[in-house]
Structure 1
Amino acid sequence: MIEHSHYLSNTAKNLKPSGIRKFFDLAAGMEGVISLGVGEPDFVTSWNVREACIQSLEQGYTSYTGNAGLIELREEISYYLQKITNKYYNPKSQLLVTVGASQALDIALRAIINPGDEVLIIDPSFVSYAALVDLAGGVPVMVRTKGEEEFKLQPEALEAAITDKTKAIIICSPSNPTGTVLRKEELERLAVIIEKHDLLVISDEIYSELTYDEEYTSFASIEGMTDRTILISGFSKAFAMTGWRLGYVAANEEFLQAMLKIHQYSMLCAPTMAQYAAIEALKNGFDDVAHMKKSYRQRRNLVVSALNDMGLTCHTPGGAFYVFPSIRKTNLTSEQFAEQLLLEEKVAVVPGSVFGESGEGYIRCSYASSLEQLQEALKKMQRFVDKF
């Protein structure tokens, strides 16, 4: 018998498994669990989008596309981005279709990072960011935020985190896990510091369509930031297409070509039939997006009100489909709260600590569930919290 661990890379051995998966796995082994942990829409992909995929199969479109994706899809993405950023991205040279936004993040980081380069990550943040920086050979640097400031990155915290090794910052607005949205004036204040220190921005805008109280502002639309910004998005959240695994990246031509080379060797192209479905989504899918947004907003208001009423202080998130309430009054850690709630009441949430040190004392709850399930889960949470 060989010692298999001897052959593993140090990076792979030291990479921590996703903290989210731990609670999904626990919940999967129990019957009757209401999950508020899953980060995906509870809606099914719209029928016209599914039908476009079926038609592509019937017509035999089952071969590879070009590495960058179907030009028809890139043209639709370019048209869409021009509406939300007021910037033109050349579909032939500045857009790349990827296997989900996750792959876009991966190749963006690999395209810009040299060993030892530091990448700033807002804490709390999506669990993949730090891991992908590690895998690219960089050093993730967490920049802490505060619940009383709605977990918004403050300019002075950004400035204090920058060193001579800092190359980029990852910004996600609306945020996973907090639902926080950075307003235009807040992004502008960050942009001043980013330009001063000559940093790049990887802007994860996967939740851009899911904002509820004000118009969304893309970081790429901020004056002077377009060439500094690698914009990443996709179809998973707004169009309820998580399983289709389709995303895209928009960037300066030189950045884009570097990412395209990595994409060519690691993935070749995104699934052909999913690309045809995405064309239909961008052409005729926004009525369904509006319907989903209306439902999410109703659910958000219900959940935020109920959590605050039960003593779990929670700001009203401006976007995505997550709330991030404080559980400090229970005197439990985030992990203890999540484990006990699951075992005693069969409600699954994610401990805030898996998203970074700033998340300790909080939990992430997704409201991408039916009103009936949310109401039942909230009753169970009320009963659980009452014990404390």
Structure 2
Amino acid sequence: MPGRTAASTGRSARISPNLALDQRIAERAAAGERIVHLGFGESRLPVFPPLAEALTAGADRNAYGPVVGDPGVRSAVAGYFDRRGLPTDPDQVIVAPGSKALLLALQLVHPGDVLLADPCWVTYRPQVLLAGKRAITVPIPAEAGGVPDPALLRDRIRSARLDGDRPGILVLTSPDNPTGTCAEPELVRELCAIAEDEDLLVISDEIYRDLLHDPDRPYLSPAEVIPHRTVVVTGLSKSLALGGWRIGVARFPADDAGRRLRAEVASVASESWSTLAGPMQAVAEYAYGEPPELTARLRADARLHGIVAAAVHRIFTEAGAVCRPPTGGFYVYPDFAPLRDELARLGVTDGEGLQHHLLEERGVAVLAGAHFGDDPKALRFRAATSMLYGATRAEQRAAREAGDPLGLPHVAAELDRLRQGLAALTGH
């Protein structure tokens, strides 16, 4: 049936498409080609110096330590959630080498097939299949990505059960990848009501939560509405540009069922990653303690992401695309359906064809919507705007510190090259 991905016991050698694209861009750049790189979801900013100092200070922490994490780091993470309206005991927390590991462990231990937004982050579906389950996809609403349209979700659950599937998990992401948008509180409440009625575990991926472009924008976590059935997963890869350091955390419900689920994830951890590396626990303890200098840095980064994402959004809409305005993170997800006839004359009839044409003919790297589960024929792609801050650490620091980052020569030049590539593509 449409919107249903079969489980498979096979294992593909294909790596994640965003990683594959990034490797290809690196090869072309090494060959001297100039590419406007919007294809990789990475916060391309320098490491905040106190984080490096925490890493150095923790370098002698070479023992394995507890599987779930040392008490100090779990207390810091609990405080982080407390400050966001989610009272948390350290014994509700697990730290891990990245949120990906935690997401996969949850798929392995909790029964039931998995409901996903369509489109959604490229890793969700492969993890569902690795766990031997089915991915049941539901289109996103007009307002935002990262969540299924509640008007469609309940019917999709019931039709899936009639087909023999067993929906048991609902994954929500806000702000999301690929659209860069944030679900409004009322939308979250509607989805939580369905999860309650249908007895679903909610996995709330909040890794972009601290990168809302408007710090006053209301944010509602499902864990505030249905705390007994929500696991929150987050990490430092996006908010603090620490993707390569691999630091993730999960917050489990406080009741007996939550304790059992946490124990099962810890069991998977003990047989796979063992524990988060000791030096990284030192980093996480500092970061989740949120000292003033760190929160100031985070605000500056979120401001930069918002300014540049808005500029890229304007370029796409001026070129004729329709696109949700970005509100968090560093992504834009344009739809070039209004220009289908013009693109067809160039031989472009689907999303991957558009990705290929932009890269090979226009020097612009993006990731087709098909890689996020979108309709392969749709002319949609994700653009990662954080790749525009500069090629060097000095340029990236200048972008973060500038009152007007769009006025910096290196940022303006990349935006101009993007604008020109789209003009040549569409004739606008």
Counterparts in 2 of 1:384 and 1:352: CA distance versus 1, 3 Å? farther
Q: Structure 1 residue 265: deviation in Å? A: 1.0
Match of residue 356 from structure 1: 373
Match of residue 382 from structure 1: 422
1:161 has 2:179 as partner: no
Q: In 2, are the aligned partners of 1:341 and 1:384 still within 8 Å (CA)?
A: no
1:36-75 counterparts in 2 under 5 A? 36-57=38-59, 60-75=60-75
Q: In 1, are the aligned partners of 2:203 and 2:230 still within 8 Å (CA)?
A: yes
Q: Structure 1 residue 88: deviation in Å? A: 2.1
Per-residue CA deviations over 1:316-340 (Å, capped at 9, x if unaligned) read 0221110000122134311111111
Q: Structure 1 residue 220: deviation in Å? A: 0.7
**C-alpha separation in 2, matches of 1:78 and 1:44:** 27
Which residue type is aligned with residue 354 of structure 1?
Answer: H
Q: Structure 1 residue 24: deviation in Å? A: 2.6
Per-residue CA deviations over 1:237-257 (Å, capped at 9, x if unaligned) read 101111110101111222111
Match of residue 282 from structure 1: 288
**C-alpha separation in 2, matches of 1:217 and 1:130:** 25
Counterparts in 2 of 1:244 and 1:350: CA distance versus 1, 3 Å? same
Q: Secondary structure at the match of 1:29?
A: helix
**C-alpha separation in 1, matches of 2:67 and 2:11:** 32
**C-alpha separation in 2, matches of 1:40 and 1:258:** 31
Normalised by the length of structure 2, the TM-score is: 0.82
What root-mean-square deviation, in Å, do the aligned CA atoms of Structure 1 and Structure 2 show?
Answer: 1.8
**C-alpha separation in 1, matches of 2:13 and 2:123:** 11
1:183-262 counterparts in 2 under 5 A? 183-213=184-214, 214-222=217-225, 225-251=226-252, 252-262=258-268
1:111 has 2:109 as partner: yes
1:88 has 2:94 as partner: no
Identical positions, percent: 26
Structure 2 residues not aligned, in runs of 5+? 1-7, 253-257, 390-410
Q: Structure 1 residue 278: deviation in Å? A: 1.6
Q: In 2, are the aligned partners of 1:145 and 1:358 still within 8 Å (CA)?
A: no
Q: Structure 1 residue 293: deviation in Å? A: 0.6
Q: In 1, are the aligned partners of 2:36 and 2:418 still within 8 Å (CA)?
A: no
Structure 1 residues not aligned, in runs of 5+? 1-9
Q: Secondary structure at the match of 1:315?
A: coil
**C-alpha separation in 2, matches of 1:132 and 1:188:** 26
Match of residue 308 from structure 2: 299
**C-alpha separation in 2, matches of 1:68 and 1:373:** 46
1:130 has 2:128 as partner: no
Counterparts in 2 of 1:373 and 1:296: CA distance versus 1, 3 Å? farther
Q: Secondary structure at the match of 1:317?
A: coil
Counterparts in 2 of 1:149 and 1:282: CA distance versus 1, 3 Å? closer
Normalised by the length of structure 1, the TM-score is: 0.90
Residues matched between the structures, number = 369
Q: Secondary structure at the match of 2:210?
A: coil
Q: Structure 1 residue 53: deviation in Å? A: 0.7
Q: Structure 1 residue 12: deviation in Å? A: 3.7
Q: In 2, are the aligned partners of 1:34 and 1:373 still within 8 Å (CA)?
A: no
Q: Structure 1 residue 26: deviation in Å? A: 3.1
Q: In 2, are the aligned partners of 1:15 and 1:131 still within 8 Å (CA)?
A: no
Q: Which region of structure 1 is more displaced relative to structure 2, 367-376 or 289-298?
A: 367-376
Q: Which region of structure 1 is more displaced relative to structure 2, 149-158 or 347-356?
A: 149-158
